[in-house]
Amino acid sequence: MSYRLEKYAHTLRAALADILGRESLDPGLRRLTVVSVRPAPDLKRVTVSVACPAGGEQAALEGLRGAAGFLKKLLARKMILRSMPELVFEIAPPPDAPPGPAAAGPQ
C-alpha cells in the first residue's frame, strides 16, 4: 500500500473510531472496535473491519449497515474529501483464530 493510501486509511480509521465511540446513539455500535480500514486504490470504496463482543456479530453488521449513511455524513464533516467513499463493513476474525483453509495450502 502506498504512503498516501496508508495515511488516508489511518485518518479514516481514527475518525470512524471516534464517531462510533462518542457520537453513535446506538449502544451496540459503541462497543465495536475498528480494527482496520482498507481503501480501494480509487478511494471509492473502503472496507472497514470491526471487532465486537462474542455472539453479537450479526447484530453488529446489521447495525453498521443501517447506520452507514449516518456514519458517512459524520465522516464528511470530520474529513475534507472530494467525495466520501462507500463504507463496506466486515467482522474481523479473532486474533487467536486459526488461519482459514486458503492459508493452509493444498492437501
pLDDT digits (tens, 9 = 90+) for 48-97: 999 988 778 888 899 999 999 999 999 988 888 888 899 999 998 877 76
CB-CB contact of 87 with 38 (8 Å) = no
For residue 106, pLDDT beyond 70:
no
- pLDDT tens-digit series, residues 56-69: 888 889 999 999 99
How high is the pLDDT of residue 48? 94
Residues of 12-45 as b/e, b for ≥16 C-beta within 10 angstroms? bbebbbebbeeebeeebbebbebbebebeeebee
The model's confidence at residue 34, banded by pLDDT at 50, 70 and 90, is very high
